[in-house]
Chains A and B, each alone.
Chain A
Amino acid sequence: MSEWMSMQAMNARERILGKLRSSLQGTSPIVDDYDVDVLTAPWRYAPEARIARLRQMLESVHGETLLTTTAEWPLRAIEALALRNIGELLIAPTTAHGRQFANHVALNAVPLRLKAYDRAVEAWKEELFFRTPASLTGTLGGIAATGSLVLWPTPAEPRLMSLVPPFHIALLKASEVRDNFHELMHEQGWAGAMPTNALLVSGPSKTADIQQTLAYGAHGPKELLVLILQDA
Chain B
Amino acid sequence: MSTLADVPGVPIAFKRNAREALDDRQLRRNFRGAMDFLMDKRRSQFPDGDELERLRAFGNRVRARALSKLPELLERLDANLTRNGVKVHWAETVEEANAIVHRIVEQHAAKKIIKGKSMVSEEMEMNHYLGERGIDCLESDMGEFIVQLREEKPAHIIMPAIHLNAGQVAKLFHDKLEVDYTEDVDRLIQIGRETLRRNFFEADIGVSGVNFAIAETGTLLLVENEGNGRLSTTVPPVHIAVTGIEKVVENLRDVIPLLSLLTRSATGQAITTYVNMISGPRKADELDGPREVHLVLLDNGRTQAFADGELRQTLNCIRCGACMNHCPVYTRIGGHAYGTVYPGPIGKIITPHMLGLDVTRDLPTASSMCGACSEVCPVKIPIPALLRRLREEAVRAPEAEPHHVRGQGTKYSKKETMVWKAWRSLNTSPVLYRAAMYAGTRLRGLMPSTIGPWTAHRSAPRLAARTLHELAREHLGDQ
Contact = CB atoms under 8 A, between A and B. Distances in A.
A143 to B, nearest CB: 8
B279 A12 contact: no
Interface residues of B, number: 106
Interface string A22-48: 011001111111110011001000000
- What 5 A-B pairs come out closest when comparing CB atoms? A220-B227, A209-B143, A218-B226, A219-B227, A200-B275
Given A196-B289, A206-B225, A220-B273, A23 B161 contact: no
A182 B255 CA distance: 10
Given A39-B257, A147-B270, A191-B253, A12 B96 contact: yes
Interface stretch (A101-109, A133-141, A158-166): A158-166
B71 interface: yes
A152 B68 CA distance: 32
Interface stretch (A65-73, A80-88, A115-123): A115-123
Contacts of B250: 32
A160 B71 contact: no
Contacts of A199: 230, 274-277
Given A129-B197, A163-B227, A194 B92 contact: no
Nearest to A202: B271
B369 to A, nearest CB: 28
A190 B61 CA distance: 22
B196 interface: yes
A182 B256 contact: yes
Interface in B72-104: 72, 74-75, 78, 84, 89-92, 96, 99-100, 103
B274 A200 contact: yes
A58 to B, nearest CB: 11
A28 B254 CA distance: 19
Interface string B258-293: 011000000100111111111111110111110000
Contacts, number: 267
B193 A194 contact: no
Interface of B: 30, 33-34, 37-38, 48, 51, 54-55, 58, 61, 64-65, 68-72, 74-75, 78, 84, 89-92, 96, 99-100, 103, 140-143, 146, 159-162, 164-166, 169, 185-186, 188-190, 192-193, 196-198, 200-201, 216-219, 225-228, 230-231, 234-235, 237, 245, 250-254, 256-257, 259-260, 267, 270-283, 285-289, 297, 299, 303, 306-309, 312
Interface residues of A, number: 83
Given A38-B58, A209-B146, A13 B161 contact: no
A191 B140 contact: no
A210 B161 contact: yes
Contacts of A38: 51, 54-55, 58, 257
Find the residue from B51, B99, B219, B288 having the highest chain A CB count within 10 A: B288
Given A16-B303, A185-B253, A198 B228 contact: no
Nearest to A214: B185
Contact of A155 (B99, B237, B285): B285
A132 interface: no
A23 B193 CA distance: 47
A145 B264 CA distance: 13
